[in-house]
Amino acid sequence: MGKQVARQLGLPIPTGSAYAGKTIILATKHGKERAISNAFRRHLGAEIEVADIDTDKLGTFSGEIEREGNPIEVALRKAKLGIRSTGLGRGLANEGSFGPHPAVPFSNVDLEVLAFVDEELEIEVIERIQSLKTNLAYCTPRAGEDIKAFLESMHFGSHALVVRPNDGDKYSTLFKGIQKVSDLENAIRKCAQLSPDGKAHVETDMRAHLNPTRMKVIRKLGYQMAKRLSTRCSECFAPGWGIVDVERGLPCAWCGAPTPLVWKEIYRCAACEHEEREKRADGKESAEAKNCPECNP
Ligand SMILES: [Zn+2]
Ligand SMILES: [Zn+2]
């Protein structure tokens, strides 16, 4: 039902949170409710309940179970699993991926996706965030080798490590969630012994409950999603109105040619076809000539 129809029928136009007093199922076994519950309570008046399902079955960071599909697909699948396991119609799930930043040299990036599914309203909402704040790193020491500098840079202790053999049958032995020096030494010794090259593969444990840096990024994303779900479409009043895409081609200030920079932000309803193109949030209306393929080829 659109705005016009509602007015003609004299029906009240819904305002405020569509989820006040409602429960949303979060599929996680890594304590992500700690990062998300507050935002949903404050901005939506909704309660987060954890679904007791093994999300690791859909793939792990340490590589012994491969993920199928892109992060958005995996997050949606997890959210729906949460819904299935409880029978409540609203689910939420997060999926992270990590790797070298495509544009910033020598920097890693944490890409986080949060998927929300409401089966009653038949909507799916995706929020994303990318952060250069990640401790993602690895090293391949031999038994007894000094890796103090590595441990310091990845904040060992508050942040955990995963250890496996560097070569050969790499996932035959896997030590996860290591936070103590004695456990680490023991794991490196065992894995180095099993590896044909005599080395252990030591990498950061990216699971949220053992990685406070990642948990912080998820917290930010939780607020982003809560804000999105508290915004209604001006046509059909469904929750989840927000930016879904951008249009590039910001005109050059000198010659007016389109540049690769973002020109418009595309807002779309999660339920109906309603869409709006808005100017950039930072108010920038033209690009500098250095970004122009004509002026600065
Ligand atoms: Zn130009
Ligand atoms: Zn709509």
The 3-class secondary structure across 58-87, one letter per residue, is: HCCCCCCCCCCCCHHHHHHHHHHHHHHHHC
The arithmetic mean of pLDDT across residues 225-245, rounded, is: 95
Q: Which ligand is nearest to the CA of 233?
A: 2
Give the Cα separation of 255 and 84 in Å (integer). 56
Is residue 58 pLDDT above 90, yes or no? no
The CA 16 to ligand 2 mean position distance, Å, reads: 15
Q: Which ligand is nearest to the CA of 2?
A: 2
Give the Cα separation of 290 and 253 in Å (integer). 10
pLDDT band at 83 (very low <50, low <70, confident <90, very high): very high
Give the Cα separation of 271 and 274 in Å (integer). 8
Residue-averaged pLDDT of the chain: 93
Short-list 206, 222, 209, 177, CA closest to 26: 222
The arithmetic mean of pLDDT across residues 191-207, rounded, is: 97
Give the Cα separation of 261 and 286 in Å (integer). 9
- Over residues 84-94, the pLDDT tens digits come to 988 889 999 99
- Residue 283 has what pLDDT? 92
- The model carries a pTM of 0.89
The arithmetic mean of pLDDT across residues 115-124, rounded, is: 96
Q: Which ligand is nearest to the CA of 251?
A: 1
**Which tokens is 231 given?**
């915004």
- Residue 3 has what pLDDT? 67
Bridge-based pairing state of the strands 90-100 and 23-27: parallel
Q: What percent of the chain has pLDDT over 90?
A: 82
- Residue 167 has what pLDDT? 95
The arithmetic mean of pLDDT across residues 63-68, rounded, is: 78
- Residue 279 has what pLDDT? 93
- Over residues 175-189, the pLDDT tens digits come to 999 999 999 999 999
Question: Within its chain, how far is the Cα of 103 from the centroid?
Answer: 19
The CA 284 to ligand 1 mean position distance, Å, reads: 16
**Which tokens is 6 given?**
């509602």
pLDDT band at 124 (very low <50, low <70, confident <90, very high): very high
Is residue 11 pLDDT above 90, yes or no? no
- Residue 61 has what pLDDT? 75
Q: Which ligand is nearest to the CA of 236?
A: 2
Is residue 14 pLDDT above 90, yes or no? no
pLDDT band at 1 (very low <50, low <70, confident <90, very high): low
The CA 272 to ligand 2 mean position distance, Å, reads: 4
Least confident range from 41-45, 71-75, 83-87, 243-247: namely 83-87
The CA 277 to ligand 1 mean position distance, Å, reads: 23
Q: Which ligand is nearest to the CA of 261?
A: 1
Beta-carbon neighbours within 5 Å of ion ligand 1: 252, 254-255, 257, 292, 294-295
- Residue 36 has what pLDDT? 96
Q: Which ligand is nearest to the CA of 250?
A: 1
Does the CA dihedral 265-266-271-272 come out positive or negative?
A: positive
More confident residue, 1 or 127: 127
Q: Which ligand is nearest to the CA of 231?
A: 2
Is residue 145 pLDDT above 60, yes or no? yes
- Residue 2 has what pLDDT? 66
